Structure 1
Amino acid sequence: MESVTNLLAGLGSFAIYFFISLLMLVIFKWVYAFVTPHDEWQLVKEEQNTAAAIGLMGAVVGFAIALAGAIANSIALLDFVVWGVVALIAQILAFFIVRFVFMPKIVQRIINNEVTAGIILAGMSIAVGLLNAACMTY
């Protein structure tokens, strides 16, 4: 019985990090929708816009990858939250890089449901999330 108790010793920490991560995902989705000039959620829910769904979920996955890196490398809960905020900022910057550098008409292309635009945005978001997670190792 002692071995089961030892196995579950980290359950409290797991729960705290997991629920804070979920909260941060919700906050990220809200912030991301706020800074983008188009309402991805409305495009997905009401218009079944595939490009918006791909772009939004790529951003969420990229952020989740960065959060995973922050969790794996944090030394305390506050450390994790701070690096989670850094990850959020990096993901928002990824959107602006795509919008203003690589594909200036991406917003209109996503509104027009051009799947290739959603794929480009999702790919950049995931790439930034991977780089962000790797940079959090110290």
Structure 2
Amino acid sequence: MPSILQSLTTLPSYLLFAAVMLGFLLLFIVAYTAVTPYRELALVRQGNTTAALTLGGAMIGFALPLTSVASHTTSLVDLAVWGAIALVSQILVYVVGSRVLLPDFRAGVEADRTAYGVLLGSLSIAVGLLNYGSLTY
């Protein structure tokens, strides 16, 4: 039976990967909220469910591919490369979803039309799952 100290030998790698992934998540939130024409966090603070669903779905969709990479590699370079690709992918999901599928998306979010948030949040998660599955080495 391995000792606790043996198990903790991978703690530095865990902490490094966790820090990089959390850093990427923060970078994603900044990039995503910069691209959208409304202030998600302000809307969420006001109780806007639609804004919370779109941002939450995008964060989950972004985190899924990072999780796949982290579980299949020991390379921080792989994590960084695929993190950047996942970030661009989720921004593209927002652009397509908000401009092609629902051209009046901004008004829908600001009016708290929950169906808009459910659709875009689900699309973000679906693309994240597809990216996750595509990243199995």
Question: What range describes the TM-score normalised by the shorter chain of this pair?
Answer: over 0.9
Please give the alpha-carbon distance, in whole angstroms, between the structure 2 residues aligned to 1:3 and 1:42.
48
Residues matched between the structures, number: 137
How far off is 1:100 after superposition?
Answer: 2.1
Runs of 4+ in structure 1 off by over 6 angstroms are none
Please give the alpha-carbon distance, in whole angstroms, between the structure 2 residues aligned to 1:2 and 1:69.
26
Q: What is the 5 A alignment of 1:1-138?
A: 3-45=3-45, 47-138=46-137
**Once structures 1 and 2 are overlaid, which stretch shifts more, 66-75 or 9-18?**
66-75
For residues 46-102 of structure 1, what are the alpha-carbon distances to aligned partners after superposition, in whole Å with 9 as ceiling and x for unaligned? Answer: x21111011111111111112101212234111111110111011111111111221
Letter matched to residue 118 of structure 1: G
Please give the alpha-carbon distance, in whole angstroms, between the structure 2 residues aligned to 1:75 and 1:8.
16
How far off is 1:33 after superposition?
Answer: 0.2
Please give the alpha-carbon distance, in whole angstroms, between the structure 2 residues aligned to 1:77 and 1:60.
20
Quote the sequence identity (%). Answer: 36
Which structure 1 segments of 5+ residues have no match? none
**Once structures 1 and 2 are overlaid, which stretch shifts more, 125-134 or 94-103?**
94-103
Please give the alpha-carbon distance, in whole angstroms, between the structure 1 residues aligned to 2:124 and 2:2.
44
How far off is 1:3 after superposition?
Answer: 2.1
Aligned CA RMSD, in angstroms, stands at 1.4
